[in-house]
Structure 1
Amino acid sequence: MDKYLVAEQKFDLQQNFRRALKCQEQLNVAKEAVKEARGSRVWIVALIVILFAMGSDFFLGASAALFAHYFYRIIRAWYSVSRAEESLEENERWFSSKGLKLEGRVLYFREDSLLERPLDPFDDELYR
């Protein structure tokens, strides 16, 4: 027995599918930003500068600024990841309310536990 989607929901389904793909792309970019921020060697420079800070307020301030810059980048990237995860989760809940599930970049009916029949939300034959 073939299952179909409601034709009145075609526009919303396609828009939310595009939005979900965009959210997944944003999540990947944000995760790369976290890796890059954590991989930054600014904190090493800050430690070296703090050695010179023993006798100078300037070097103490420079060291604090470098540490602040390092942690700011990490926190900003982490915040981007959490925002992207929340929007992706919101899209998954929307699809779930329509009897669908999103696995990666592919859409399935919720009852398709083996993920054998992927859906193309842009295929007009899928709507009745």
Structure 2
Amino acid sequence: MKKVLGELDEEAVIKDIKEKLDYKELREDIKEFREKFAKLIEAAGIEKLVIYVDELDRCSPNTILDTLEAMRLFLFNGKVAFVIGADERHVSYAIKNKFKDIEGINMDIGKEYQEKIIQYPILNTKYE
């Protein structure tokens, strides 16, 4: 049986607090990872690290999003760049499946998301 504090569900409040604490730990883990990675790049004497990701569009929508999110962990460091080979329509589809349209806001979430991550898109219209 749930205890209710006024209009608040105590179990829901506790769950929400735990999720926020877990998120705080995640942010701290990400910060620590970034610091250690920066030190590793520095110690290795790497001036620029270029990572090629080809055929991203052949992955499942969830894997596409997981890969993009993982790449974001490295983008903070000015010494890391990614070159992505993918059909932007498939990537956009994956993004739209994860982040549904927001009612009342007219935007293409797939396009907006990609524009935040991809600085220099090079379109190959030869095969369209």
Structure 2 length as normaliser, TM-score? 0.32
| Larger Rg, first or second structure (1 or 2) | 1
Structure 1 length as normaliser, TM-score? 0.32
Higher strand proportion (structure 1 or 2): 2
